[in-house]
Amino acid sequence: MALRHLACTFIILTGFFGCRNNTETAIIPDNCRLSAGDVVFRKGEGMTSRAVVFADKGGVYSHVGIVADSAGIPMIIHAVPGEPDFDGDPDRVKMDTPRKFFSSVNASAGEVCRFRGSPEVARRAAMYAIQVYRRGTLFDHDYDDTDTTKMYCCELVEAAYTHAGMPLTDGRKHCLSFPGMGTYRCMLPSDILNSPKLSRYMVFTDGKKQ
């Protein structure tokens, strides 16, 4: 509820009612080689994405996922609202191709980070994410990381690496305060991006490396 409320507040404050680009391409470079356990970030241009960046003071990205190996093919597992695959598809944890995750409809910029430690730890984190996807986990609109029956994007990535024995955020969270609604504590993408356990592998915008 916290970030959903922030999205509404952001719209009111900025008067932003932008349209999304319907010409779909992929911004991830063809030479980007993903590995299981890689943590991937993207910045969207939609209202909710802008609200997340607005809340994440100093942050760059609005969404995060984790790469997993699916029968030898790298896929991205992420918890996301508002991206149904079919009519009636609930907000949930999804497994998408990198090209879909980094579609220009959903992303204007992206980054791939790699775990600095053992590849086995990264592999275990990826396997946990697959389990979360396969159990049909719904998106957590309350952004409550004490309850893993539902998950939001940062919660999923952090839970995966915590399960593998290497939590990324070391407890870092943001405090979000709303008049009449109290204060919420939740992880935002910068809490994961700034982890010393991750190294930058590739940053890109519009399909070009930086």
**Per-residue model confidence as pLDDT tens digits over 61-93:** 999 999 999 999 999 999 999 999 999 999 999
Q: What pLDDT shows up at residue 50?
A: 87
Residue with tokens 């519009």: 206
| pLDDT single digits (tens) 114-153 | 999 999 999 999 999 999 999 999 999 988 988 999 999 9
pLDDT of residue 127: 98
In the chain, which residue ranges form alpha helices assigned H by DSSP? 2-14, 47-55, 98-101, 119-134, 153-163, 189-193
- Alpha-carbon dihedral of residues 79, 85, 86, 87, nearest 10 degrees? 50
Domain membership flag for residue 75: yes
What is the number of structural domains in the chain?
Answer: 1
pLDDT at 168: 98
Q: Does 208 map to a domain?
A: no
Q: Which two tokens stand for residue 69?
A: 């190996």
pLDDT tens, position by position, 94-110: 999 999 999 999 999 99
Structural domain contains residue 142: yes
pTM here?
0.87
Q: In this structure, how many other beta carbons lie within 10 angstroms of the beta carbon of residue 94?
A: 21
Q: Is residue 112 part of a domain?
A: yes
**pLDDT tier, 208 (very low <50, low <70, confident <90, very high otherwise):** low
Long-range contacts of 204-207 (CB under 8 A, 24+ apart): 204/27, 204/28, 204/29, 204/32, 204/109, 204/110, 204/111, 205/27, 205/108, 205/109, 205/110, 206/27, 206/104, 206/108, 207/25, 207/26, 207/27, 207/28, 207/29
For residue 19, the model assigns a pLDDT of 40
Q: Quote the mean pLDDT of the chain.
A: 87
Q: What does the alpha-carbon distance between residue 76 and residue 203 come to, in Å, rounded to a whole number?
A: 17
* Residue 207 binned pLDDT confidence (cut-offs 50, 70, 90): low
Provide the residue range defining the domain that includes 164. Answer: 2-10+34-202
pLDDT value at 8 more than 80: no
What would the pLDDT profile of 155-192 be if each residue is shown by its tens digit? 999 999 999 999 999 888 887 765 555 567 889 999 99
198 pLDDT higher than 90: yes
- Long-range CB contacts (within 8 A, 24+) of 188-191: 188/52, 188/55, 188/56, 188/59, 188/154, 189/41, 189/52, 189/56, 189/59, 189/60, 189/61, 189/62, 189/63, 189/64, 189/153, 189/154, 190/56, 190/58, 190/59, 190/60, 190/61, 191/154
Residues in the chain: 210
Phi-psi region of 167 (alpha: psi -120 to 50; beta: other; left: phi over 0): beta
* pLDDT the model gives residue 180: 57
Query: Is a pLDDT exceeding 90 seen at residue 58?
Result: no
CATH code where residue 105 lies = 3.90.1720.10
pLDDT digits over 15-56, tens only?
333 344 456 799 999 999 999 999 999 999 888 888 888 888
What's the distance, CA 164 to chain centroid?
19
In this prediction, residue 20 carries a pLDDT of 44
Residue 11 pLDDT level (bands cut at 50, 70, 90) = very low
